[in-house]
Amino acid sequence: MATEALGWWGVPLGILAGTLRGSVPFLLVSLGECLTEKSGKINLGLEGTLLIGAMSAYAISYLSSGIVGPTLAPWLGVLAAGLAGMGLGAIHGWLSQQPRVNDVAVGIAMIIFGGGLANFFGKPFIQPQAPQLPTLPAGGWSSLPQVQSALQVSPLFLLGVAIVPLMSWFFKSTRWGLYVRAVGDSPDAARAMGISIFWVRMAAIVGGSFLAGIGGASLSLFYPGVWTERISSGQGLMAVALVIFARWQPWQCLWASLLFGGAQALGPAFQSVGIDSYYYLFNAAPYILTLVIMIITCSPKRTLAGAPGALGKDS
């Protein structure tokens, strides 16, 4: 037998691999949303941004591979995904800051708009195969092919992990970070400081959408590596919820994303070793986890700790 079965070791390995593979979109989208929400606006539309990012990355990677070659093409795709995300972000940023416009409502409209746009332009790209992003083989030390395959780390994952301390430092120790926090916590004070609330929020939303677009690219160019209309399956919305339970802290976004990515692998990994009852329950694990954490951390006596002061309020 060429490949040995792993048996029970397959479960932790599967979860580890699922964490490395499945957490990338959660991580990038939640970091983007973290930046956006710190400025006091919610962008629910990141689900649509994820789809448009996935579509544009796949399309550009496929179309440009003939011109720039299959090594450079996926990177162009990633860039295109980011730019497409920024485009949607700019629309949301402008619309949601109009007087008497609710940002949650705009966000829902943007989910539908982004998804529809991606499906419309994505029609011709469902069938062809686009060149995929390379992965870094971190499992070369192991002789087991399963371990080698599990430890295929995507550069986008590393990018996400690198952004975490950067964003944390940005909020804590830079002037621009202070602007974002000021606008998000106390718009009146920010205005008194002479900061343009409109442009700070616009920048935060567009920047966040750029990250979410790249998250979409990781879906179509890394894992699972196809473009279909249902590729996101709600991951964008889950990532938005994840920011709340990460308490608007980049570091906690990282842990939460890893948790959600790993939880996705739970159902398949258990079934593959013969624990085949309750697979619906295992598949629902991430959602149950969210609910449990929400219930544990909520309190009727205070508002959510760490929430930006102006979040969800009319400006």
Partner 1 sequence: MSDRNRSFHLSRRQVMRGLLATSAFGLTAKLGTGCAQSPGSGGGAAADGGAAEELVVGFIYVGPKDDFGYNQAHAEGAAAMAASVPGIRLVEEASVPETTAVAETMRSMIEIDGAKVLFPTSFGYFDPHILALAEEFPEVQFFHAGGLYQDGVHPKNVGSYFGYIDEAQYVAGVVAATMSQSGKLGFVAAKPIPQLLRNVNSFTLGARSVNPAATTQVIFTGEWAEPVKEAEATNSMADQGIEVITCHVDSPKVVMETAERRGVMTSGYHANQSSLAPQGYLTGAEWDWSSIYTALGQDFVDGKTLMTGGIPHILRGGLADNFCKLSPYGPAVSDEAKAAGDAALAAIESGELVIYAGPLQTNTGSEILPAGKELKTDNVELEKMDYFVEGVIGSIS
Whose tokens are 């979409």? That residue is 216
Q: Is 186 in the site for partner 1 (CB under 8 A)?
A: no
Contact with partner 1 (CB under 8 A) among 189, 255, 276, 294: 276
Tokens of 88: 């949607």
Task: Provide, rounded to whole angstroms, the least separation between the CB of residue 258 and partner 1.
Answer: 15
Contact with partner 1 (CB under 8 A) among 5, 136, 162, 292: 5
Whose tokens are 């192991």? That residue is 142
Contact with partner 1 (CB under 8 A) among 83, 113, 149, 161: 149
Q: Which of the ranges 68-76, 81-89, 226-234, 238-246 carries the binding residues for partner 1, by CB under 8 A?
A: 226-234
Amino acid at 181: R
Q: Is 39 in the site for partner 1 (CB under 8 A)?
A: no
Task: Provide, rounded to whole angstroms, the least separation between the CB of residue 108 and partner 1.
Answer: 18
Bridge partners of residue 137, in order along the sequence: 152
Bridge partners of residue 153, in order along the sequence: 136
Q: Which H or E run contains 183?
A: helix 175-185
DSSP string, 31-100: HHHHHHHHTT---TTHHHHHHHHHHHHHHHHHHHHHHH-TTTHHHHHHHHHHHHHHHHHHHHHHHTTSTT
The residues in 91-110 that bind partner 1, with binding defined as CB under 8 A, are: 98-99
Tokens of 74: 């996926």
Q: Is 1 in the site for partner 1 (CB under 8 A)?
A: yes
Contact with partner 1 (CB under 8 A) among 72, 229, 249, 293: 229
CA distance 311 to 309: 6
Contact with partner 1 (CB under 8 A) among 79, 121, 138, 272: 272
Contact with partner 1 (CB under 8 A) among 271, 287, 307, 309: 271
CA distance 139 to 137: 5
**Residues at the contact surface with partner 1, assessed by CB under 8 A:** 1-7, 10, 13-14, 17-18, 21-22, 98-99, 119, 123, 126-127, 129, 145-146, 149-150, 198, 223-226, 228-231, 233, 235, 264-265, 267-269, 271-274, 276-277, 279-280, 283
